[in-house]
Structure 1
Amino acid sequence: MTKSTESKKEFHFRKPDKSDGASVWELIKHTGVLDLNSSYSYLMWCEIFSETSIVAEKDEEIIGFISGFIHPDNPDTLFIWQVAVNESERGKGLGTRMLFQLLNRTACKDVHYVEATVSPSNTPSQLLFKGLSKKLDTECEIDDYFSSDDFPSEGHEDELLFKIGPIKKKIK
């Protein structure tokens, strides 16, 4: 077995449930770069939006999480709210693999677009979504979305909207 085959088998992908909320909150907290929301919000996210969210486990520890939902105004769009990968696993394609897992779920069978907001300084997320569009052989439009003035506290960057699609095929 090759090293890349071994590393692919190390991960277990599944839908989150409310018992994952505390671990997800800790993962987000330890990224040091994502907005940390209340622990309650992650409990709810893992419970209510489990069909369009994902956890990645390695050695029974949550090392990756994506929160997503089907956009209420655009039922063909999966909006990705946060992507978190444990520092030890960054740069290994785990974010992309979690996105592919999500896109192949029954809950996303009618999804033709992926959207996410990304701050200009978040190069890893920009590369993730640009790479996703390339792997899906589709477009990636980037537009202004939220300005720093939209946020109630000082210091928050602008947020750009990444829109990937139309997605013609699902990749496993």
Structure 2
Amino acid sequence: MTSPATVSDLTSAGQPAKAEAELKIRVPEDQDGTAIWDLIQRSGTLDENSIYCNLLQCTHFAETCAVAELDGETVGWVSGYIPPSEPDVLFIWQVCVDEKARGRGLAKKLIHSVLRRKACQKVKRLHSTITEDNEASWALFSSIADGLDTELSRTPHFEDEDHFDGRKPTEFLADIGPFERHVISIRSAA
């Protein structure tokens, strides 16, 4: 015989409450390429790369990328790399969170999960490029800078006319840092 639901186990409609879905952040694997590509397509806001590009990110750059799953479904992605000429910089290429996983601070958790990895032990700065009107990304990177107790600066990087022939707006370099390694561990645990 099953025990009856208590008041705390019921939703406002009087139905049993559904258990919180399990969120898992991990290093991507080669089988994740198409799921990540699909996630980016669903977002409708990110530049689209080929499935092959996402597959390379999941293999060649796996240690500087992260995937998030909610009950086994891919709902979050961050791709990044350490530029060969700047071994103390983690460049974040793309951040994508599915609508159903928003409101959990997932983008920040994904980036912090990468920063905590051994591959990033020399990283003291975080870079990304962001268009001026992308308020969500500026808010994310500003929050990360605050959490790392450091500054966020922005300067034009890839300019609309010089680099995109007027086809795309200027991308500003978001530069966070320098920061201390111990701050990553402290802030990420919170």
Per the normalisation by structure 2, the TM-score is: 0.83
Per the alignment, residue 38 of structure 2 pairs with: 26
**CA apart distance, 1:153:** 7.0
Per the alignment, residue 164 of structure 2 pairs with: 151
* Amino acid in structure 2 at the alignment position of 1:121: D
Query: Structure 2 residue aligned with 1:141, among 145, 148, 153?
Result: 153
**CA apart distance, 1:152:** 5.2
Per the normalisation by structure 1, the TM-score is: 0.91
**1:107 counterpart = 2:126:** no
- Separation in structure 2 between the aligned mates of residue 136 and residue 130 of structure 1, nearest angstrom: 10
**CA apart distance, 1:11:** 1.2
**Pairing 1:1-172 to 2, within 5 Å after superposition:** 10-149=22-161, 150-151=163-164, 154=167, 156-168=168-180, 169-170=183-184, 171-172=187-188
- Separation in structure 1 between the aligned mates of residue 111 and residue 69 of structure 2, nearest angstrom: 15
Q: 1:12 to 1:38 in 2, by over 3 A?
A: same
| Higher gyration radius (CA) | 2
**CA apart distance, 1:71:** 1.5
* Amino acid in structure 2 at the alignment position of 1:111: V
Runs of 4+ in structure 1 displaced over 3 angstroms?
Answer: none
Q: RMSD of the TM alignment (CA)?
A: 1.5
Count of aligned pairs between the two proteins: 165
- Is the partner of 2:75 in helix, strand or coil? strand
Unaligned runs of 5+ in 1: 1-5
> 1:17-63 CA distances to partner (integer Å, 9 max, x unpaired)?
11100000000111111000111111111111000000011100110
**CA apart distance, 1:90:** 2.3
- Separation in structure 1 between the aligned mates of residue 103 and residue 159 of structure 2, nearest angstrom: 28
- Separation in structure 1 between the aligned mates of residue 39 and residue 173 of structure 2, nearest angstrom: 24
Identity of aligned residues (%): 39
> 1:2-26 CA distances to partner (integer Å, 9 max, x unpaired)?
xxxx86x821111101110000000
